[in-house]
Amino acid sequence: MQPPRFWYRPPGFRSTLLSPLGAIYAAGTARRLAKGTPLKLDVPVVCVGNINAGGTGKTPTVIALAQRLQEMGHTPHIVSRGYGGSVTSAVQVNERIHRAADVGDEPLLLAAFAPTWVSPDRSQGAKLAVQSGADAIILDDGFQNPALHKDLAIVVVDASRGFGNGKVLPAGPLREPIETGLSRADLLLSIGPKKAQSHFVQTWGRPPCPHLQGHLTPLQTGMDWQGSRVLAFAGIGHPQKFFATVQELGAELVKSEALEDHQPLSQALMTRLESEARLLGAQLVTTEKDATRLPDEFRAKVLAVPVRLEIEDWSALDTALTRLF
């Protein structure tokens, strides 16, 4: 389900009307965090989370963080709730036997970069990861979950959308008030192009923690997209970002299909998209995350466009990571 448009407009009638419900939601989040007894592990836990509901760029951030820790000589494991998956107990993701329906699309993608565990109980997954040799845990999401003590908390935000209208669900896109969330954050990472970054700073000012800026860039795969006719589809938090990326590569976007976040790619849906692409003389393309949900018979028919996070200045993050060990 795509978010309501009024979430990303100045506060108006609807957001004001829903604000009391937002206060109740925020109070519930605060109570859950206050009642929890976080488990303190013998290895550092780095949480990559957000204040906004929906996609902000956590997955590419987790990938970049895992690679950074590996470059520093560490063995990070990733722990995820496995949104959209069916597993009910902690399991290490195995790309050869698991499907997105089992463990979720994001963990299936993350497992290509570091050992990844899916666990509804994050503390259980983290303990198993440590037993399996992890010297650091990257917690994918879970900023509002009290199960684990977080040694480093990174809040990720889309620079273009920012914190929307600044209201808490359902009055706005936030899981908790900005000040409350950022008071627990060690780093804020805004992701987007330079123009969006400037607008973010002008709108939201200086946060109470170090502020990193980064952007997503397509991974060079040797594919020449210039002039290619494509039908792009995406079931991520902000599909328009992906469609813009495809155009920036030089492809001719003859049609775009924005799906719901994590939407199942059913046989019927993919057959329809394949027929439309054939009629338009276009190549089907999607995101790296969506590609993990493709039915087997469509994997060779759809091209994925991988993106990676590039951070302008790693120094604050590197310093924070070094202090953990």
Going by the annotation, the residues of the binding site are 52-59
Q: Cβ(120)–Cβ(128) under 8 Å?
A: no
Cβ count within 10 A of residue 55 = 20
How do strand 302-305 and strand 211-218 relate by DSSP bridges? unpaired
Match 């808490």 to its residue by tokens: 168
* DSSP 8-state class, residue 4: P
Pairing of strands 307-311, 229-234: unpaired
Label residue 221 exposed, middle or buried (CB < 10 Å: 0-12, 13-18, 19+).
exposed
User: Within the chain, where are the H helices?
Assistant: 13-35, 58-71, 100-103, 105-110, 122-131, 178-184, 194-204, 239-248, 267-280, 288-291, 315-323
How far apart CA 27 and CA 278 sit, in angstroms, is 51
What does the alpha-carbon distance between residue 66 and residue 54 come to, in Å, rounded to a whole number? 22
Residues, the chain: 325
Assess contact for 84 and 177: CB atoms under 8 A: no
Would you list which residues are annotated within the binding site for ATP? 52-59
DSSP 184-247: H-SEEEEES-HHHHHHHHHHH---SS-EEEEEEEE---S---TT-EEEEEE-SS-HHHHHHHHH
Q: Determine how many CB atoms are found less than 10 A away from the CB of residue 249.
A: 17
- Sign of the Cα torsion 299, 98, 118, 84 reads positive
d(CA 295, CA 287) in angstroms, rounded, equals 15
